[in-house]
Structure formats: C-alpha cells, structure tokens
Structure 1
Amino acid sequence: MHFIKFTIVALLCAYGGLANAQTASDGDVAPAAAEEAFNPNPIANLSARIGYNTDSGFVGGLGYATERFLGQDADFSMRIEAQEGATRFNVAYSNDTVFGDSPRFGLTLSHSETTAGDVYGFESAATRLQPRLTWDLSERQRLSAYVSLSRNEVGTVDPTNSILIRNDEGQQQRVSLGATYQAALPIEGDGPLRRARFSFGLETGHTSRDHSFTIVTARATLVHAFSDGNIVVGSSVRLGHMATMEGTSNIGDRFVLGSSSLRGFAFGGFGPRDLAVANTPALGGTSYGIGRFDARFPNAFGDDSTLTPGVFLDVGSLWGLDDINGGVAGANPVDDAAYLRSSVGVSLRIDSGIGPFNLFLAMPLEERDYDQTQEFGISFSQSF
C-alpha cells in the first residue's frame, strides 16, 4: 500500500518537474502571454464536511483541493471521512494536458475500512487504484475508460455466521477493465420536460479467487415541470447485473442497497438473507432493478418559503446468488428469488441557513417478513 502511494506521488512529481523545467528553458514570458496564463483561483482550498443520514449516522470529513498541482493546470484533491464504524480516504488527480485536449487523464486512489456492524457482522477493508481516460464526445456526451486494481479483505467472521460469508474471509485481489457512457438529451421548446439523462456502464474482470465476471449497469433520469414550475415530477430507473463466468462472487463484490435506493427499507434491509443462522446476515445480490417516482411542490408554502413538500413511490428488487447453499454448514438453501418491494410516502426538503435537510416518511407496501424496514429517514450534508 505504501509502495503504491509512493510510486504515484513520485510519478506526479517527476511529471511536474519536467513541465516546470521546460517552462523555465523557454525564457521570459511576454506580458500578453502571462496575462492569459494567470489563474485567478486560489492556489488551494481547505474544506470540512459534516453530514448525517439514517443509513450510516453522522459523517465528518476534511478535504484539500487545488487546481494548480505542482505548478501545473492540474487538479488534485484529498479527502478523509469518518463515521461510526467506518473510515474512508480518497486521493484524486486529473490533468487535461497529458494527451493534449483529449482525452483527459485522471487517477484515483481510495481506501476504506469498516468494523463489524448490524448489516454484515464482520470487518472489511478495501483499497482501489483506478487510472481513467475521459473523452467529451460532444457538449452532452461523455465516454470514460478505466483500469481498476483493488484489494479487498474480510476478517473476524464469527464461526456461527453463514458459510456463504465465512467462505469469503481473507484477502482478494481484483483486476478489471471498464467503460462508462453518459449523455444528456437536448431540451427544446416550452414543453414540460426539463432534464433527460442516462448512463451505461460495462466492467469485466478477474479475481485472485478465480472469479471471472462482467458487470452491466444502466440509469435513466427524467424531470418534468408542470403548472409554471409549481409541480416538479422526477422519475429514475436503475438496473444492474453481475454475470459470473467462472467461480463465485464475493460478499464485497455483490450489490447491497438501502434507503438511498428504496425509501422505507434500511441499508442491507432487503434482498437475499441467510435465515438459517442466528444473525440472519444480508448477502447482497447479483442483480437489482429500482424505480423512483417523486412529485415535489416548490411553491406550496409561498415563493419565498424554505420548505418543499413532496410525495413519492419507490419500487424495486435485489436478487441473485452464485451459491445458495447457506446455513452454518452449507446444508440450508437460501432463497435468492426476485421479490418485489415497494413503498409510498411523503418528503420534505428544508433549505436552512446551514444547508439542506431532506426528510421522508415511508410506508412499505410490498415486503418480505424478514426485511428490515426504515419508515423515517433524514439526510443532511454541508461543506465549509
């Protein structure tokens, strides 16, 4: 890990030194050129973040960012965040001039650790290094390609836990290639459509535990406004599937969803569970489909009000395992079928002086007896 960090910093420093040496050898810069090269933005920004949501509790973080890393027109940021039972660290670098105007080069390094909690009941750690190239195909279309190198670790699994989790204990290295495509449709005329965006992702890779996989994700989002903007209707659909060509997926690779996807259900609260062991752990799933539909009323309490009420309907499912032989010894099959979940409720956004608060009150309509519901939710985030 330390070797990876040292290598990245050394490479970036070397690149910056070469660029600065080349600039110095060019001699004095003409006043007009100097004016054009002047960057009025601060050399660096220090930031702090506080937040809260009902899935993960209070979150606090510190950040550093600059647009002139090592004297170049390059972006560099570093962020660390902590919450109850989890810490995250992220470093990101991007430079638009490595390959000329296109593509843009980016590099991220992230590390996270979690302690045993209510959802999983084990400790985990994950480190990922991801270089990326991004092409702007047009003003509304973007294509990115990346290589992902990661190491995941699952530890301190209780001997009485599900064998489907105990089998994943230890380290796993993963190498994958991926691409994402994002587009926004042009909005013309005075119709109700205000925003239309969609994205598509494809990733294929292999792990040190002989698991070969391909992951496909897709998302579409629409926003309509009616009655002179007094009614705003948003709708989104998200799909994801991990196809296994060889081996068995790891608990750290499968999808796990919560109230940010399906309001009314806790994080890890729906999807396949091993009901044959005492803690009935969430196992995640290899496939999901989510639909969210909101109607918000920005001027319900007057044009100057800080309150925006709304109503919503969420529907979806999380399903699929490569191995369903659960229980302590692998003798109890897990039900990994696709069962519909849904909820309706009311929402409220409060634009306070210290940041926006988002609240919801949900009533699950379709659920399983073993699901973990969460009828009330609140989220808040503000950076300084």
Structure 2
Amino acid sequence: MNLRLRARLNLSTCPAATTPSRLVRFGLGPMVIAGFLGVSLPLAQMAEAQDFRFSSFDVQGNARISDAAILTYAGIAPGSAVTGAQVNDALQRLQNTGLFEAVEITPRGGTLVIEVQEYPTINQITVEGNRRLDDEVLLSNIQSVPRRTFSPAVAEQDANAIAEAYRVSGRLTATVTPRIIRRSDNRVDLVFEVAEGGVVETERLSFVGNRAYSDRRLRRVLESTQAGLLRQIIRRDTFIAERIALDRQLLTDFYQDRGYVDFRILSVTPELSRDRGAYFVTFNIQEGQSFDIGEITTVSEIPGIDAAEYQDVIRIRTGETYSPRLIDNTISRMEALATQQGERFVRIEPRITRNDADLTLDVEFVISRGERVFVERIDIEGNTTTIDQVIRRQFTAVEGDPFDPRAIRQAAERIRATGFFSDVAVEGRPGSSPDQVIVDVDVEEQPTGSLGFSVSFSTDTGAGLAVNFAEENFLGRGQAVRLGFNTTEGSQSLNFSFTEPSLLARDLSGSVAVFYTETSSQNRSFDTLDIGATFGLGFPVSEFGRMDVYYGIESNEISGLSTTNSSAILRREATDRINSFVGAQYAYDTRNTGLDPTQGVRLQFGAELAGLGGDAEYLETTFLGIAERDVMREEVTLRASFEAGALQMLDGDSRLADRFFLSSRQMRGFEANGLGPRDLNVANRDALGGNYFAVARFEAAFPLGLPDEYGITGGMFYDVGTVWGLDNVNGGAAGANPVDDGLHWRQSVGVSIFWDTAIGPLRFNFSHALDFESYDLTRDFDLTVEARF
C-alpha cells in the first residue's frame, strides 16, 4: 500500500497585513490534512492501521541542512515499527522546524523517502511606500538579515515591529505587508510594503468628576495635548498610548501638591472615532477635599538628640496647604542637621493625624534610629555615551555610606532632571551581607544635541534669522556647548559658550563665553561694534539661592557719527575702548518648586565693577524682582515685576555702552530706546540712555472663553518707569538747550492677546501711553512672532 504525505507553503506572494486587528500567519496549522497544506492520504484509515519498518532513508533536496539533522528532526529510528500516524507526526516535526518551505514523505518498501525544499536565503531587504519614517529607522527594528535564511514567522514579526514604529508616531492605521521576490540560486528579495495612513490625533481631552479645577486648567498639567487650529502642520497633539501613564502620574502629583490627599483616578478611557482618525480621552477622577497643615510637632526617640533643634529647621507653617513635597523637604533639612551633628542612621518619620472636621492634617516628625544598612556599591548600566561620573555625582551617598531610600529616590530625580536620559530606574537590592545594599542604576540615553533654525519678527528689529547649536552632554561628560548666530535688520551677533557643571568634582559650575555684536543704523544714526569674553563660576548658597561671579573683557566701538548732526555727547565717544570688569550676581528663585506652582518669587541682585585695567572705571548695580500668583482656581495669573539699576562712574563720564536703555518689552507703550535722555537734533534724535533706570510692570493673564484648542488667552497690563541721569548734559544741537536728563515718570496701559502655538509664542500688545515727554517715541501696537522649524 502506498502512503504519501506532502506539506507545501506557497511563498510566491507571502502577504501579511500587520495591524493590531489583522494578522496572517506563516506557520502550519495543527492538522497537516487540513487547510493549505494539501496532504494526500490514499486509504487513510487503512494506512493508520498499517505498521511500517524502514531499514533505510533517502533524503532529497537538501543543500544547507545535513541528512543526519533532517533524520533527527523526523524522529523515526531504522527498523522500528511505526504507524501511518507516526509518519504524519514526523512530517509535522520537520515542517515545524521552520527550515523548510515544503516537505514530502513517501514510504517505498523498506525505504522512507524524505524530500525537502529549503527556505531561500535573503538577498536584500527593502521598504517601500514609507515617506514619514526613513528606511534606516524602520530597518533598525527588524530581525531578518540579508544572506541568512528567510523565515516567514520572523518576517511577520518584522512587519509587526515596523507597524509598531508607526503606531508610536501616531499612525495607528498603518499597515505593513511583507512580500518576497524570487531570485536565482534559491534567493529572495524581502520587501515590506507600507501603507502609512494618517496621524491619529487627540481630538479631545476631557475630565469627569473635577469640581475644584476646570478642564482647561487640568489640560495644562498633562503631557498629552489636544488638536488645535494648526493640526495639519503641528504634530504635538498626536495620540501616544504610552503618555497615558505619565499623564496619570502628573495629574496625581498636581492634586496631591494642592492638599487633595484622597485624590484618585478611577479610569482613563481612550475612545477611537469611527473613522479611526482621532481619539477622545476621558479622565474619570475623584478629587476629595483639600487639606491644610494643622499642628506641627517634633519628638525624639534617640537619647541625646534635642527635638527642639530639629523643630527650628521646619519651614512649613500651620494653615499652609498640605503637600508631600513640603514634608519631604522638611525631612531633608532634618537629615542634613543630623549629619552636621555627626549622627548616623537617623530616621525621620512623619506621622500624619487626620482631622476631617476642620480638614487639617497634624504632622509629627519622629526622630528614631534606622537600620544599620550601608551602600555596598552603585552599579550603573545602559549608559553608552555618558560616563559613570556624570551619573554618580547626582548621588549624595557613595560606597560605604548609610543607605537612605529617600535620598536614593531624590538622586533618581536629579538624574532625570539632567535631561540626558529618556528613562531612569534606580533600585536597591540585597548585597553580600544583610547590612549591605547594592544600588542598581539603569538608564536609557536620549539625544542631547540640537540644531535649530528660527525666523522671527519684531516691531523693534524687524525680520530676523537665527541658527543655534547646543549640546548639553558634550562627549558624555555632562558639559554644555552652545553656538548661536542671529541676524536682523541692521544687526548681527555671534556667541559661543562652554559650561562645566561640576568643576573640581564639586557643586561648582565653570563657564566661558565669547560674543560678537554689530549694529548698523538700527533705529539710530550710528553703528556699534562690541567684542568680548566672560569667565564665570556659579554655586548654590541656599535651598533656593545661587551665586554667580564672573570676569569679563570687551571692546566697544561707535562709528558712523556725523560731525554736524550727531550729538557732541556721542561724538566724544567715537574712539575704541577696552573695558575690563568683574561682577557678581545672586538669585533667589522659588517659582519652580513643585508641580505647576501657584505662586513664586524671583529676586536677583547684581554688581559689576570696571577698572581692573582697561579704559573704564565704574560701579554698576542692578535689581530684579518678580512675583507671581495664580488665583480664581488658577485660571488667572497675576504677575508683578520691578527692575532698577544705577551706574556710578569712578572716573570720567559714562559712555553709551555703559548706560541703561529700556526695550519695548521692559516698558510697553514706547519704542525700543524710546524714552529717557535724547539728542533733540531733528536730524537724528538719538537716544542717549541714562545712568539710572527704574520700571515696574503689573499684569494679569486670563482665559477669554475661547475653545482650548485655539490656544488664545488675554491679558491687561500697567507699566510705569523711566530712564534718567547723565554725567554731562551739554552737547545737544547748536543753539538748543542742554539735554533733559531729569527724573520724569512715564506710564502706559494696555491689553494683550496671547496665542500659544507650537511654531512659537505670539503676543499682540495694544497699548496707550498715559504720561510721556514731548521727545519720547511712543507706540500703540506691538507684535512679536517667533517661529521654529
């Protein structure tokens, strides 16, 4: 009786449309007698009952795979009795190896003939139909390799991987079909045909259960954004499922930072529209109540430690909105005090007592002894470019120090804050002994360099072009290198800077910067040229304070002055000058604490002394103060700022490069350099600047009730300020009075329209000058546009 078993897979087209809902398998089915395998079994029932004994085997068609390997896969021993079903099992085993395109088994007396057709080798791999993603990006995701055996199963996985790359970029409807083209010598070209489809946007982000904050305010917290007016060219609203987890965490942190200790996200539901072109994402939340801080106490369970000393370092106060951030900062201060006192293994535990009646939380900080656990070592993995030292310096602990889980978490946050890594995981695991812990740091690097081209327009400087290069992790050492070129109508500038954030392996930054600036009749009747360099050191002096000291040297030149029309004050400056100076600047900034802070203050004091060589001797002092606060459920932002400066000449008269000027951003309602002492000659009316300036700005920004996707909000402002004081007021036009350098306050009011877009911030100011001098240059409208591409 003849028995022939045959299995063949047709690879002439080999389609596989790989989307999340549609897959075509390359492998065999569970039964070789069904489907596309085409198995022929004459008199199958009798064959299954018949026993076979094969004394020899004849393997045919194999070129790369040996006879012995094929017989091993078949699993039939010479001379043993086998049934037709066992022969069928041998066929399936051979086919399931994934090595053969076709397998045929034919018993011929005492000989079993096994005829195989091996899968071809891959000649080349190409991608067709892709426009949004380059071949290099897509091919980096696949496992198939030229000059190796083609596998339908691997090709299917590769098609899935390419489709996944499109899914991450927001093209959920993309399909990828692998096909083969037959070549000579049992070779094939593997082609992935791509239909990219359209980008799936986030059409709407909505919230259910929110009462304290509007949908508009909560959308500002999320990483995801919904589609706006320029959706056809702006892709920041692309739906990416992986962002949902980050959005959940950001939303939770936002509420908990505002005292909502019971806040919960019940569900997040992304719904795909019928045409599969957009997502509607709904956050179902439960806010709870906001709690304030009640009674604050400190107790010590360690003999010899005075709890009162630790109570004194607490900066939070009763009645303040509760925030885990405030508690964590207090613990850090207490642990720092313990370290200063030489105490080790001190544990600060906050014990919270809830008072639902008055919505307060009493906080008791308990000082106790922690476990004697040490850091055995810190293992760092995943960094191929960044050197280990850049990561290690974010840890306050080194090998042999007491293990502090909270300090380790803070180190992980500092590593993330560098911006060098897309993912950071820091975990502790048991060490070589019970009192040892190994800290594992696993990072995933991301690009840290950028090359930017931007066009800009301002009513001050007109149209402009800028090219900027920045590398924030130069040679993997955490150093920052920046190079920029900027040109506008009548102005060109070039600058370069280098910053080492950890000079001498300490929390000390060192920087060097060089600059070149040239102006040509930019709203003035003369030209300027400034070339110089500065060298600086920066270091923290408190939790929110930082000090920067620097030395600089520069060359200043004024040219193009008219001997008849230009002011005599300026004509005296028509000589090159070298300026050598040292300076210091202290900044205190609380605006960036917490997640989306509702209030903050920035104070900045600066002093600069010239006279260490060079041609100028002066003392310049400046001050900047900014205060912000969100009110009305954080829908309205109130902002107040004050700037002032004084220039005291130690030898000679001040020069144009030393004096103060106000731009139209500093004093709205006036042109750049539009107020203060001015040459009254009608031929030029050049601004001369002043030795002193002061300006205060008050502003409110608020929504206009327009749909969020427009990104348009409004504002109102009031500015008051002036520039005054010259060392020599004689030099105006012939026959005219001396230049007026008196203290005259100017005032202006106006409204603003803000349009926040991904191609740049747009601001429209409609202003009106209330108080001004007859020689001032006022402006009723101001527009600033900056586009980056």
TM-score bracket for the superposition, by shorter chain length: 0.7 to 0.9
Q: CA deviation at 1:232?
A: 1.3
Assess, with a 3 A threshold, how the Cα gap between structure 1 residues 361 and 331 changes in structure 2: closer, same or farther.
closer
Query: Superposed, which structure 2 residues align to 1:101-140 within 5 Å?
Result: 101-118=506-523, 120-140=524-544
Q: CA deviation at 1:352?
A: 2.9
Residue 50 of structure 1: aligned partner: 455
Match of 1:341 among 720, 739, 746: 746
Please tell me whether the aligned partners of residues 680 and 733 of structure 2 are also in contact (alpha carbons under 8 angstroms): no
Q: CA deviation at 1:116?
A: 1.8
Percent identity between the two aligned chains: 30
More displaced 10-residue stretch of structure 1: 180-189 or 96-105: 180-189
Please tell me whether the aligned partners of residues 276 and 332 of structure 1 are also in contact (alpha carbons under 8 angstroms): no
Q: Separation in 1 of the partners of 2:651 and 2:756?
A: 50
Match of 1:182 among 581, 587, 596: 587
Please tell me whether the aligned partners of residues 269 and 371 of structure 1 are also in contact (alpha carbons under 8 angstroms): yes
| Secondary structure of residue in 1 paired with 2:534 | strand
Q: Separation in 1 of the partners of 2:501 and 2:642?
A: 32
Q: CA deviation at 1:353?
A: 4.3
Match of 1:372 among 777, 781, 789: 777
Q: Separation in 2 of the partners of 1:141 and 1:126?
A: 31
Q: CA deviation at 1:61?
A: 0.8
Residue 5 of structure 1: aligned partner: none
Query: Superposed, which structure 2 residues align to 1:310-321 within 5 Å?
Result: 310-321=715-726
Q: Deviation per CA, 1:57-101, whole angstroms, max 9, x where unpaired?
A: 112111111134355331111000100000010101001233222
Q: CA deviation at 1:230?
A: 2.1
Q: Separation in 2 of the partners of 1:204 and 1:247?
A: 15
CA RMSD in angstroms comes to 2.5
Assess, with a 3 A threshold, how the Cα gap between structure 1 residues 97 and 50 changes in structure 2: closer, same or farther.
same
Q: Deviation per CA, 1:299-321, whole angstroms, max 9, x where unpaired?
A: 53255541111111010010011
Assess, with a 3 A threshold, how the Cα gap between structure 1 residues 207 and 112 changes in structure 2: closer, same or farther.
farther
Which sections of structure 1, spanning at least 5 residues, go unmatched?
1-30
Q: Separation in 2 of the partners of 1:143 and 1:209?
A: 26
Q: Separation in 2 of the partners of 1:295 and 1:182?
A: 24
Structure with bigger RCO (C-alpha 8 Å, 6+ apart): 1
Residue 88 of structure 1: aligned partner: 493
| Secondary structure of residue in 2 paired with 1:382 | strand
Residue 248 of structure 1: aligned partner: 653
Assess, with a 3 A threshold, how the Cα gap between structure 1 residues 45 and 64 changes in structure 2: closer, same or farther.
same
| Secondary structure of residue in 2 paired with 1:99 | helix
| Secondary structure of residue in 2 paired with 1:265 | coil
Q: Output the TM-score relative to the length of structure 2.
A: 0.43
Task: Identify, as 1 or 2, the structure richer in strand.
Answer: 1
Residue 157 of structure 1: aligned partner: 561
Q: CA deviation at 1:331?
A: 7.7
Is 2:640 aligned against 1:215?
no
Residue 233 of structure 1: aligned partner: 638
Q: Deviation per CA, 1:15-51, whole angstroms, max 9, x where unpaired?
A: xxxxxxxxxxxxxxxx955645744232632111221
Q: CA deviation at 1:196?
A: 1.1
Q: Deviation per CA, 1:277-316, whole angstroms, max 9, x where unpaired?
A: 6322110111100011111113532555411111110100
Is 2:586 aligned against 1:171?
no
| Secondary structure of residue in 2 paired with 1:165 | helix
Q: Separation in 1 of the partners of 2:736 and 2:748?
A: 34
Q: Deviation per CA, 1:109-140, whole angstroms, max 9, x where unpaired?
A: 0110010233x311111012001000022342
What amino acid sits opposite 2:657 in the alignment?
G
Residue 99 of structure 1: aligned partner: 504
Please tell me whether the aligned partners of residues 209 and 247 of structure 1 are also in contact (alpha carbons under 8 angstroms): no
Is 2:656 aligned against 1:267?
no
Residue 70 of structure 2: aligned partner: none
Q: Separation in 1 of the partners of 2:664 and 2:504?
A: 41
| Secondary structure of residue in 1 paired with 2:686 | coil
| Secondary structure of residue in 2 paired with 1:264 | coil
More displaced 10-residue stretch of structure 1: 137-146 or 366-375: 137-146
Match of 1:69 among 468, 471, 474: 474
Which sections of structure 2, spanning at least 5 residues, go unmatched?
1-377, 387-444
| Secondary structure of residue in 2 paired with 1:256 | coil
What amino acid sits opposite 1:138 in the alignment?
S
Q: Separation in 2 of the partners of 1:148 and 1:237?
A: 26
Q: Separation in 2 of the partners of 1:171 and 1:188?
A: 46
What amino acid sits opposite 2:558 in the alignment?
V
More displaced 10-residue stretch of structure 1: 167-176 or 42-51: 42-51
Residue 11 of structure 1: aligned partner: none
Q: How many residues align?
A: 352
Q: Separation in 1 of the partners of 2:381 and 2:785?
A: 43
Residue 16 of structure 1: aligned partner: none
Q: CA deviation at 1:193?
A: 5.5
Q: Separation in 2 of the partners of 1:183 and 1:242?
A: 23
Assess, with a 3 A threshold, how the Cα gap between structure 1 residues 370 and 98 changes in structure 2: closer, same or farther.
same
More displaced 10-residue stretch of structure 1: 297-306 or 79-88: 297-306
Please tell me whether the aligned partners of residues 580 and 614 of structure 2 are also in contact (alpha carbons under 8 angstroms): no
Match of 2:601 among 193, 196, 207: 196
More displaced 10-residue stretch of structure 1: 46-55 or 201-210: 201-210
Q: Separation in 2 of the partners of 1:152 and 1:207?
A: 16
Please tell me whether the aligned partners of residues 697 and 720 of structure 2 are also in contact (alpha carbons under 8 angstroms): yes
What amino acid sits opposite 2:755 in the alignment?
I
Assess, with a 3 A threshold, how the Cα gap between structure 1 residues 37 and 133 changes in structure 2: closer, same or farther.
farther
Assess, with a 3 A threshold, how the Cα gap between structure 1 residues 137 and 377 changes in structure 2: closer, same or farther.
same
Q: CA deviation at 1:231?
A: 1.8
Please tell me whether the aligned partners of residues 467 and 485 of structure 2 are also in contact (alpha carbons under 8 angstroms): yes
Assess, with a 3 A threshold, how the Cα gap between structure 1 residues 157 and 187 changes in structure 2: closer, same or farther.
closer
Please tell me whether the aligned partners of residues 306 and 352 of structure 1 are also in contact (alpha carbons under 8 angstroms): yes
